[in-house]
Amino acid sequence: MTIINTLLSPNGRLSRIGFWGWCLAIAVVCATLWWLRTHYGTAVGLSPAEGVDPMWLVLGLPLLWIGFCLSVKRWHDRGKSGWWLMVVLVPVLGQVWALIECGFLAGQRGGNRFGPSPEGHRPMLDAYRLEDMPEDMP
């Protein structure tokens, strides 16, 4: 999957590692933009009192779309429709549920209706999954 497809298309699946990596990258971009705006924004005539900052409109909407696409792909990896993203509209509990579901729970093993596993085939690692261990092992 190309970077453009990963960031701009809601189709496919995304692993937990990929999800957290892209979330970190988006957070760094937002923090950098905020820092630039607060330190250099007044030098170019932008004042916080002027209402909506045009920089956030121009850059914020694409970042919002990227976040949407990454989240939908993560729901797909869990085997659920992207419509499950709507759970974040439920105050507090919805956001906590989405964080646990997308950020901490493993995706479905193997392919599902949304595509092949983003983890790929890793037989050596699959051999050491705890849920597959015999119960009589020490």
pLDDT for the residue numbered 119: 78
The tokens 């999954």 sit on which residue? 129
- Per-residue pLDDT of 63-102, as tens digits, reads 999 999 999 999 999 999 999 999 999 999 999 999 999 9
Residues 117, 26: Cα–Cα separation, whole Å: 24
pLDDT of residue 55: 72
Average pLDDT over residues 38-51: 63
> Between residues 119 and 4, which one has the greater pLDDT?
4
Q: What is the 3-state secondary structure (H, E, C) of 71-110?
A: HHHHHHHCCCCHHHHHHHHCCCHHHHHHHHHHHCCCCCCC
Q: How far apart are CA 119 and CA 137, in angstroms?
A: 27
Query: What's the rounded Cα separation, in Å, for the pair 126 and 123?
Result: 5
Encoded tokens for 124: 């050596």
And the tokens for 97? 């549920």
* pLDDT value at residue 124: 44
What pLDDT sits at residue 58? Answer: 81
For 77, counting Cβ atoms within 10 Å of its Cβ (0-12 exposed, 13-18 middle, 19+ buried), the class is buried
Query: Helical H runs in 1-138?
Result: 3-8, 16-40, 54-77, 93-103, 123-126
Please state the rounded mean pLDDT for residues 4-29: 94
The pLDDT confidence band at residue 44, using thresholds 50, 70 and 90, is low
pLDDT value at position 2? 86
For residue range 110-128, list pLDDT tens digits in order. 999 999 999 765 544 444 4
Name the residue ranges covered by the structural domains of the chain.
3-132
